[in-house]
A and B are shown apart, each in its own frame.
Chain A
Amino acid sequence: MIQKRLNTAFFITVGVSLVVFIYLVFLGYDEIRTLRDVVKIVGSVLFPIPILFFTRFIVIEHFLPENSDAYKAKNQRPATLLLVISVIGVLLLMQLLEFLTNKRLEDALILAHLINSTSISSYVFNFLLYNNLKANGILSGVLMALAVHIFFLSA
């Protein structure tokens, strides 16, 4: 297995996820009164991890693209495109869901925690093991959309 150096993008994405997590906890601070809420948050943060381990267990032999310059150049455009598409798509989807259910995302913080933890663990997982740039684009897009939605679109 190739030892890849972690680059700045990795740290920034993880950092964004952490900020979102802290902000979500802060946002729901008034509601964290009982043990029940803590259990729910812990559950939603842990949710993706067993699934990821299982996936890794099954697809252990899958190829690992070398992080060469040629691979990067070839995937730059589709990855960026996917990033933009997923940011816009997820933003629209969340607006639509809020509009349809007449509920704000802040009322369902567990869902936000779930999106955050799932996308960041898949991102880390993909980055470390497969380094598939297109998947990286999609996952960062989902995370960015969540961050934008929480920080700017919901007052």
Chain B
Amino acid sequence: MNIIKTSKDQTNASKRELLFTFQTIIVTGLLAFTAIAFFFYNDLSVIKGIKVIFAPFLSVVPLLFILSVLRDLRKGFIEGNYTKQEILKFGLITLGITAAFTGITLLLSKINALEILLAGIIAILSTVFFLRSKIKDILGMSIVTGIAEGIIVYMIFLF
């Protein structure tokens, strides 16, 4: 409800940041939902118990390292409007990422061991958090939107 209550003193850049945060929260929720749905629907079994505990570390540890080492890649959100050309370009990028993630979710559904599924989903989640904290830009927003839409399109039409 925060986007509704935006007051006058808020800048456009901070509004954009808020929207970006919302989008990442949605993606996180969707990924968790996908994991649970695949887990129950495919009756996934844990083949090697100890692997489940270590699966997340595979991508979380490099992420933390990268986040601590790297400086911000982009300048942040701009105040004004985007040009028509930019809008077109990033719209197309979003469409492409949507198609790609429909395919990636399809691949995830083919996995039949819980620990590998977990590792894959945590890897995507780490990418999202990387985008969230380092690529604060329209590029990050369009990629995150693409991921969310890709998962939803798979859910509706292919699942």
Kindly state whether residue A72 has any CB partner on chain B within 8 Å.
no
Which A residues are in CB contact (< 8 Å) with B82?
58
Question: Of B33, B80, B141, B152, which contacts A61 at CB under 8 A?
Answer: B80
Q: A50 and B16 in contact (CB under 8 A), knowing A40-B156, A57-B141, A61-B81?
A: no
- B145 near A53 with CB under 8 A, answer yes
Q: Is the interface of B mostly helix, strand, loop or mixed?
A: helix
Contact code string A46-62 (vs B, CB < 8 Å = 1, else 0)? 11011101101111111
Which B residues are in CB contact (< 8 Å) with A22?
none
Q: A110 and B22 in contact (CB under 8 A), knowing A51-B149, A60-B12?
A: no
Range class of the B interface residue count:
35 or more
- B26 near A50 with CB under 8 A, answer yes
Which B residues are in CB contact (< 8 Å) with A39?
33, 37, 41, 155, 159
Residue of A whose beta carbon sits closest to that of B144: A50
Which among B2-10, B53-61, B62-70, B121-129 touches the partner chain?
B2-10
Residue of A whose beta carbon sits closest to that of B17: A57
Kindly state whether residue B28 has any CB partner on chain A within 8 Å.
no
Which B residues are in CB contact (< 8 Å) with A42?
33, 155
A–B pairs, 15, beta carbons within 8 Å: A1-B8, A39-B33, A39-B41, A43-B156, A43-B159, A47-B153, A50-B27, A50-B148, A56-B3, A56-B19, A57-B20, A58-B87, A58-B90, A60-B15, A61-B80
